[in-house]
A and B are shown apart, each in its own frame.
Chain A
Amino acid sequence: AQKVTQVQTEISVVEKEDVTLDCVYETRDTTYYLFWYKQPPSGELVFLIRRNSFDEQNEISGRYSWNFQKSTSSFNFTITASQVVDSAVYFCALSLNTGNQFYFGTGTSLTVIP
């Protein structure tokens, strides 16, 4: 069975602080994909990143970075120098190579205080 766990339900940081959102996944498949989505107050989930299970290289995109570690089944997301516009709920998700099905975590609500 597949499962995604986001243990942090709510995080508050002061603007310009760095923050890391944790994501732990479970699957027995060797080929899978991991995603992060952002859900601002408007409600629409916005795709941030996709990684496949064979690519453990960390990725940086502006103030965002992702740390994928298969050894610990984790795919953590760091926002550097947080801004108020980063306030949203962030979801980690897992999909397998077959079935076109996505498994979402319960989300982490991030509040950036000005």
Chain B
Amino acid sequence: EAGVVQSPRYKIIEKKQPVAFWCNPISGHNTLYWYLQNLGQGPELLIRYENEEAVDDSQLPKDRFSAERLKGVDSTLKIQPAELGDSAVYLCASSIGQGTATGELFFGEGSRLTVL
């Protein structure tokens, strides 16, 4: 069974440029998460989807970040324009659980963003 797939693995851009990250969750997983991980820190939730609905986006900086999960499968996270402080690893995770947090998370390898 394929795991969570993310692309690109690495991205280097100049500040004020746009960037997009893509995630394909494990087949059948209803819940999809985007996390931000700064160096030496644990993952911090940006947005959580239940199927195609964003049910928790309270931590997403909506002035520059946007996300979508069309048809409740793949998801894209976009930053426009990127700032120096956005340099981090963006992790996508999925779980089979819906409504309750009993299921473990399955993570992708992450997309490492460097903003120059």
Contacts and interface: CB of A to CB of B under 8 A. Distances in A.
Interface of A: 4, 9, 33, 35, 37, 42-47, 50, 52, 91, 93, 95-102, 104-107
Nearest to B9: A43
Interface string B76-111: 000000000000010101010111111011111110
Top 10 nearest A-B pairs (CB, nearest first) are A104-B42, A95-B101, A45-B107, A47-B104, A44-B109, A100-B101, A43-B110, A43-B109, A106-B42, A104-B43
Interface string B46-65: 00101000011000000000
A61 to B, nearest CB: 14
B1 to A, nearest CB: 14
Interface residues of B, number: 31
A79 B77 CA distance: 37
A93 B42 CA distance: 9
A101 B41 contact: no
A102 B101 contact: yes
A4, A50, A102, A106: which has the most chain B beta carbons within 10 Å? A102
B45 interface: yes
B24 to A, nearest CB: 14
A39 B101 CA distance: 21
A35 B104 contact: yes
A97 B107 contact: no
Contacts of A107: 40-42
28 contacts: A33-B102, A37-B105, A37-B107, A43-B110, A44-B107, A44-B110, A45-B91, A45-B107, A47-B105, A50-B104, A93-B42, A97-B100, A97-B101, A97-B102, A98-B101, A99-B56, A100-B31, A100-B50, A100-B97, A100-B98, A101-B45, A101-B48, A101-B56, A102-B43, A102-B105, A104-B44, A106-B42, A107-B40
